[in-house]
Chain A
Amino acid sequence: MFEGLFEGFQNVLTLNNLFACFIGCFVGTLVGVLPGLGPVPTMGLLLPFTFMLDPTGAIIMLAGIFYGAMYGGSTTSILLNLPGEAASVVTCLDGHEMAKKGRAGAALAASAIGSWIAGTLGLVGLMFFAVALSKVALLFGPIECFAITVLGIFLLGNLSGNKPSRSFLMVFIGILFGCIGTDKTTGMSRFTFGSADLIGGIDLVPMIMGLFGIADVLMFLENRKENPSLASVKFRDLYPKKEELKRIIKPSLRGTVVGFLIGLLPGPAAVISSFASYKLEKKVSSNPDAFGTGVIEGVAGPESANNGAAVGSMVPLLGLGIPFAPATAVLLSGFMIHGITPGPLFIRDNSLMFWTIIASMYIGNVILVLLNLPLVGLFASVLKIKTRILMPIIVLVCLIGAYGVNNSVFGIFVMVFFGLVGYLFKKVNLDPSPLIVGFILGPMIEIYTRQSLVLTNGSFLPFITKPISGSLFLIALLLSVLTIMRNIAKKRNTPCDKKY
């Protein structure tokens, strides 16, 4: 095995492959930073250009875009409270609070270092267990997927300390928004109100940019109060202190494990993993109430989790040749147009290429961390710009992102609508992140339910008797009982809750 890896490294360190790796990482960082441009469309657009490279170089470059985008994804969430993709929604919670306190640099560094830890350690997992672990994913059919998505909604719906009734209101509003457009099972259109564009449903990216970014812009417009200037913060203070660096390590390790395991499964791995890691960090923290006010663990955990998930999702792709996530599906197209079939046979017969790709990912992660750390200072100084100039820039970037999602002005309309909605949510103290959870998981629950019921011929019994789904439901049940009991105990201690 190490022989293979060694050969792989030798093979990467040729000019062509190194260049492909660097270009992939660079483009990945760029599209990760810019909200609205995800790795999936970018990889899709660049597919035909990879014809110029040899197959190995092509895959190295495409993979670089994929994991590179995970590095940059948190930048705008931290600096501007503007998540460019669903996985970074969590990073806003603490990352942006840190930025407000002048610790943007520390948050960005935590995200870069956490991503590097997860990327590198995840690779070790990928290297040793690609074939063994890839079979895990196959155990998850519609019924198991249904169970895990329901568990996901239960666990992640109540993330940021809203009252449960408010969080679940938001989750279900998200689910209802998810119903707009074409019903995937019957092909009929729902709630399109005569609009041709709504037949395609609501795009996630304009929606989150509206709920977070534009809502913030509207809040600013209301009283045009300049944010406290950070101009006096010295450049050196932007970087994390020793004590903060220490606090990054453990959450990153936990995030890596959580992310990697979730990445193995079907479904929106990156999103679930970052939400789950945040929840976990909050659970293990000695001071859970501080979450949401800007703690570095709340940035390092989720950011490493979504990188871990990215590597995890490579396991079923390389080990079996099955893409579970949209990004790995495009990667598979990349393999296909170069006439290569990933899978167990690929690892055996094309071992040099397999190891070259693995080696390129180790190197890519180093390139990325070297690329991102110096940028921390540059990005963090964005906050020194006066708010009245920063806000138009945010709007401009959002507009291009919203337009670029589907090359259509409809995205801009969606974004403005959700900007208004997000503004109203802020006015009545509702946190929109559970809505995102509902919006992503809701349609999946619907399609899984209907698939499962066709498979079981309308019976609900197999949902409980199948080992994986049964135990997942048991966990959900236990957790909800626990939560209810804790709530009752809390209520006894503080009989009248004056805060709400």
Chain B
Amino acid sequence: MMKMRKIGLLLMIGMLCLQLFTFNIEVAAKNYPTKPIQLICPWAAGGSTDLLCRTLAKVAPKYFPEPIVVINRTGGAAAVGLGDAKRAKADGYTIVIASNPPFVSQPYLKKNLPYSLNDFTSIIGLSKEICTMAVNTESPWENIDQLIEDAKKNNKTITFGHSGVGLFPHLAAESFFKATGVQARGVVFDGDGPAITAAIGGHIDVVIATANGLVQQVKAGNLKALVTLAQKRSMSFPDIPCMKDMGYDDIDFNIWKYLLVPKGTSDEIVKYLHDNFKKVIEDPEFIAGMNKMEMEIGYLTGKEIDNKLNKEYKLVGNMLKELGFIK
């Protein structure tokens, strides 16, 4: 009898606990968020990713009860910011913005990276930046075919400027020149800006940078865009041929920006974030802000991001090995 009673009591307590527990979870999901959400931006204030974050944070109050606070933690090609985000509590109050190179290129280049793809859960894709090739306005090449023809006929080596080894403008350029059979040598600059400036000064033959970085200089008449190194034409240069137009079906380098949370964040919170951020990027105010910055909105689900990253990780590894940047 006593035993039965004891078991009954235990069961009851157990059930009570379970109920309390589930009740708590429900409450947590319902009551999320109850304080400001930190959005870590691993790049410097005033740059394109930072502007994207701040546009996001500006529109977010329409759909979130709590503000989104952007915090810049820069350095080491996003390694510092992503490392910090990984160490943060998985309670949904720390999210981080990232692009693909930190996950698909940096693991090959840097030893002891403080993060990996497995440390995060992807939420939503926000935007894509498209790699574009441009030349000085005074350059004799009016379009990409002339460049290829000239380089091949006269056995010229093209010098191209880009923002860093393993970053997408670099990889896009290398695979384009390889596919077309043009001899080329890459010159590394500290970011898109200096590379673009060097092209305007005529110190390098071509520059490969994001379309949104180039568009102002093209508008100002300092540069002309030649080709878009992706499968689709870009919003900024609708008249410039893309890789599909030229018949190269496997060159497609787009820099996606997407949001992540540390692994272990509950599915409810991930879903909540995804659904609400989706509303944000569909908001006319957000779209207008992105248009002003010449950035293209690119929606992806978390799963699509993961698939993309895993695919690109293998591709980039092979490329870097082939090019001799890693052993």
User: How far does the alpha carbon of A142 sit from the alpha carbon of B194 in the complex, in Å?
Assistant: 10
User: How far does the alpha carbon of A336 sit from the alpha carbon of B204 in the complex, in Å?
Assistant: 25
Rounded to whole Å, the gap between the CB of B110 and the closest CB of chain A is 5
Interface string of A188-202 (1 = CB under 8 A from B): 110010101101110
Cβ contact within 8 Å between B76 and A201: yes
Cβ contact within 8 Å between A333 and B73: no
Most chain A CB within a 10 A radius of its CB, from B57, B200, B201, B221? B201
Contact of A344 among B187, B196, B221 (CB under 8 A): B221
At the interface, yes or no: B222 with Cβ under 8 Å from chain A? yes
Cβ contact within 8 Å between B84 and A142: no
Contact of B187 among A189, A200, A451 (CB under 8 A): A451
Interface string of A153-168 (1 = CB under 8 A from B): 0000000000000000
Contact of A447 among B188, B196, B294, B325 (CB under 8 A): B188
Contact of A322 among B159, B200, B219 (CB under 8 A): B200
Cβ contact within 8 Å between A343 and B112: no
Rounded to whole Å, the gap between the CB of A173 and the closest CB of chain B is 21
At the interface, yes or no: A184 with Cβ under 8 Å from chain B? yes
Interface stretch of the complex, out of A67-75, A323-331, A378-386, A434-442:
A323-331
Cβ contact within 8 Å between B77 and A181: no
A324/B197 contact (C-beta < 8 A), A138-B202, A329-B46, A455-B159 known: yes
How many A-B contacts if CB must be within 8 Å? 177
Rounded to whole Å, the gap between the CB of A244 and the closest CB of chain B is 39
Cβ contact within 8 Å between B76 and A185: no
User: How far does the alpha carbon of A379 sit from the alpha carbon of B293 in the complex, in Å?
Assistant: 41
At the interface, yes or no: B111 with Cβ under 8 Å from chain A? yes
Residue of chain A at shortest CB distance from B71: A407
Cβ contact within 8 Å between A406 and B221: no
At the interface, yes or no: B181 with Cβ under 8 Å from chain A? no
Interface string of A333-377 (1 = CB under 8 A from B): 101111101111110000000000000000000000000000000
At the interface, yes or no: A315 with Cβ under 8 Å from chain B? no
- Residues in B whose Cβ lies below 8 Å from that of A339: 292
**Chain B 107-162 residues near chain A, CB threshold 8 A:** 109-114, 157, 159
User: How far does the alpha carbon of A69 sit from the alpha carbon of B204 in the complex, in Å?
Assistant: 35
Interface string of A405-444 (1 = CB under 8 A from B): 0111010000000000000000000000000000000000
At the interface, yes or no: B164 with Cβ under 8 Å from chain A? yes
Cβ contact within 8 Å between B197 and A266: yes
Interface stretch of the complex, out of A5-13, A37-45, A235-243, A492-500:
A37-45
Contact of B219 among A142, A341, A447 (CB under 8 A): A341
- Residues in A whose Cβ lies below 8 Å from that of B72: 41, 44, 406-407
User: How far does the alpha carbon of A344 sit from the alpha carbon of B84 in the complex, in Å?
Assistant: 43
Contact of B110 among A182, A185, A332, A333 (CB under 8 A): A182
- Residues in A whose Cβ lies below 8 Å from that of B219: 341
Cβ contact within 8 Å between A342 and B83: no
Cβ contact within 8 Å between B221 and A142: no
User: How far does the alpha carbon of A187 sit from the alpha carbon of B84 in the complex, in Å?
Assistant: 20
Rounded to whole Å, the gap between the CB of B164 and the closest CB of chain A is 6
Interface stretch of the complex, out of B48-56, B239-247, B257-265, B276-284:
B48-56
At the interface, yes or no: A459 with Cβ under 8 Å from chain B? no
At the interface, yes or no: A221 with Cβ under 8 Å from chain B? no
- Residues in B whose Cβ lies below 8 Å from that of A266: 194, 197
Cβ contact within 8 Å between B203 and A187: no
Cβ contact within 8 Å between A140 and B201: yes
**Chain B 45-93 residues near chain A, CB threshold 8 A:** 45-47, 50-51, 54-55, 57-58, 71-77, 79-80, 83-84
Contact of B45 among A44, A182, A200, A343 (CB under 8 A): A44
At the interface, yes or no: A320 with Cβ under 8 Å from chain B? yes
At the interface, yes or no: A321 with Cβ under 8 Å from chain B? yes
User: How far does the alpha carbon of A295 sit from the alpha carbon of B316 in the complex, in Å?
Assistant: 58
At the interface, yes or no: A393 with Cβ under 8 Å from chain B? no
At the interface, yes or no: A14 with Cβ under 8 Å from chain B? no
- Residues in B whose Cβ lies below 8 Å from that of A488: none
- Residues in A whose Cβ lies below 8 Å from that of B254: none
- Residues in A whose Cβ lies below 8 Å from that of B75: 181-182, 197, 199-201, 203, 406
- Residues in B whose Cβ lies below 8 Å from that of A140: 201
- Residues in A whose Cβ lies below 8 Å from that of B216: 321, 332, 335-336, 341
At the interface, yes or no: A141 with Cβ under 8 Å from chain B? yes
Place the interface of chain A in its size category.
35 or more
Cβ contact within 8 Å between B112 and A194: yes
At the interface, yes or no: B193 with Cβ under 8 Å from chain A? yes
Contact of A450 among B45, B105, B188 (CB under 8 A): B188
Cβ contact within 8 Å between A455 and B114: no
Cβ contact within 8 Å between B200 and A320: yes
Residue of chain A at shortest CB distance from B213: A336
Residue of chain A at shortest CB distance from B159: A455
Contact of B221 among A48, A185, A345, A454 (CB under 8 A): A345
User: How far does the alpha carbon of A187 sit from the alpha carbon of B216 in the complex, in Å?
Assistant: 28
User: How far does the alpha carbon of A410 sit from the alpha carbon of B109 in the complex, in Å?
Assistant: 23
- Residues in A whose Cβ lies below 8 Å from that of B202: 138, 141
Cβ contact within 8 Å between B193 and A329: yes
At the interface, yes or no: B302 with Cβ under 8 Å from chain A? no
At the interface, yes or no: B165 with Cβ under 8 Å from chain A? yes
User: How far does the alpha carbon of A41 sit from the alpha carbon of B126 in the complex, in Å?
Assistant: 24
User: How far does the alpha carbon of A329 sit from the alpha carbon of B191 in the complex, in Å?
Assistant: 12
Contact of B46 among A44, A181, A199, A322 (CB under 8 A): A44
Contact of B201 among A139, A201, A407 (CB under 8 A): A139
Cβ contact within 8 Å between B79 and A454: no
Cβ contact within 8 Å between A47 and B51: yes
- Residues in A whose Cβ lies below 8 Å from that of B77: 182, 187
Cβ contact within 8 Å between B73 and A321: no
Cβ contact within 8 Å between A447 and B76: no
User: How far does the alpha carbon of A341 sit from the alpha carbon of B220 in the complex, in Å?
Assistant: 6
Cβ contact within 8 Å between A199 and B198: no
Contact of A142 among B46, B76, B203 (CB under 8 A): B203
- Residues in A whose Cβ lies below 8 Å from that of B83: 196-197
At the interface, yes or no: A457 with Cβ under 8 Å from chain B? yes
Cβ contact within 8 Å between B79 and A196: yes
- Residues in A whose Cβ lies below 8 Å from that of B109: 186-188
Residue of chain A at shortest CB distance from B45: A44
- Residues in B whose Cβ lies below 8 Å from that of A450: 188
User: How far does the alpha carbon of A322 sit from the alpha carbon of B193 in the complex, in Å?
Assistant: 8
Residue of chain B at shortest CB distance from A48: B54
- Residues in A whose Cβ lies below 8 Å from that of B157: 457
A343/B221 contact (C-beta < 8 A), A141-B201, A185-B188 known: yes
User: How far does the alpha carbon of A329 sit from the alpha carbon of B165 in the complex, in Å?
Assistant: 22
Cβ contact within 8 Å between A322 and B71: no
At the interface, yes or no: B190 with Cβ under 8 Å from chain A? yes
Hey, which bits of chain A sit against chain B, CB under 8 A?
A: 40-41, 43-45, 47-48, 51, 137-142, 181-182, 184-189, 192, 194, 196-197, 199-201, 203, 266, 320-324, 329-330, 332-333, 335-339, 341-346, 406-408, 410, 447, 450-451, 454-455, 457
Could you list 13 examples of A-B contacts with CB < 8 Å?
Answer: A48-B57, A48-B58, A185-B188, A189-B111, A196-B113, A200-B74, A332-B216, A333-B47, A336-B216, A341-B220, A406-B80, A454-B159, A455-B204
| Sample of 15 more A-B contacts, CB < 8 Å, known A196-B112, A329-B46 | A40-B44, A48-B57, A189-B76, A189-B110, A189-B112, A196-B79, A200-B75, A320-B200, A320-B222, A321-B217, A333-B47, A337-B293, A341-B220, A343-B222, A447-B188
Closest 6 CB pairs of A and B: A200-B75, A44-B45, A141-B203, A44-B46, A199-B76, A196-B114
